[in-house]
Amino acid sequence: TNFRLGDYGTGGRPLLNWTGGGPYQAIVTLGEQAEDVVIVQLRFDTPNSPPNPSSARGVHPNGTNITVRSCRFQKVSDAMNSASVVTGWLAQNNTADETSGYFIWDQGTDHTFLGNTTTDSINEHTIRLGDCNRVLIAYNDLTNTAKSNVWCMIGTDAYLAYNKIRNGRILIGPNFASGPPLERFKGTVVEGNEIFDEGMILYSGAEHIAIKNNVIHSDPKE
């Protein structure tokens, strides 16, 4: 409770370099009783180059009121994965080099992803909402040449605003290929985004959607 993991003094970001096994372990893992934790101004790296699925993840957020801010994720699989579920999570002003997995796999309630920048992913989506309620994704600059940049897959109430979406599209709705009929994403606003070279896809099971004031830059190829 009331814990800060970060830099001090002057100089560059301190480096946390993973030398253990993988693939589903993380450099920083929080337990379900973690509360009011800030992880700030750190570098997360592994020996694997290029990134591959056997790399460790950067952060496993869990608990209540977690902040990950101004960190750099380098040769990791997932930068941040909240499959353990978080109540109250802020990820702000982080950067990610090319990852092998997700920048964010998201599960939980009351999450804000603000001002983050990603380079690419080899295998997965940039931000995927796996079972989320009340999520703000705003002012990010996201690139993905493998899959989508934002997938609102399962959950309720997502607001996607003023992001730059490069190459990878925005998806809304459950996994039509394998999801059961009851899976839904209900309540999505997509507003003021710039989307380059891609667009949006709405799957069956996407309900109550508002799309307004977005700009889609498309260069049709013969």
Per-residue pLDDT tens for 165-203? Answer: 999 999 999 987 777 778 899 999 999 999 999 899 999
User: Minimal CA–CA distance to 58: which of 89, 94, 31, 85?
Assistant: 94
Per-residue pLDDT tens for 110-139? Answer: 999 999 999 999 999 999 999 999 999 999
Residues ≥6 apart with Cβ < 8 Å to 95: 71, 72, 73, 116, 117, 118
* pLDDT of 221: 63
Per-residue pLDDT tens for 202-218? Answer: 998 999 999 999 999 98
Q: CA-CA distance, 141 to 79, in Å (whole number)?
A: 15
pTM, two decimal places? 0.95
Per-residue pLDDT tens for 20-54? Answer: 877 789 999 999 999 999 999 999 999 887 778 78
* pLDDT of 181: 75
Confidence of residue 96 (pLDDT cuts 50, 70, 90): very high
Rg of the Cα atoms in the chain: 17
* pLDDT of 188: 98
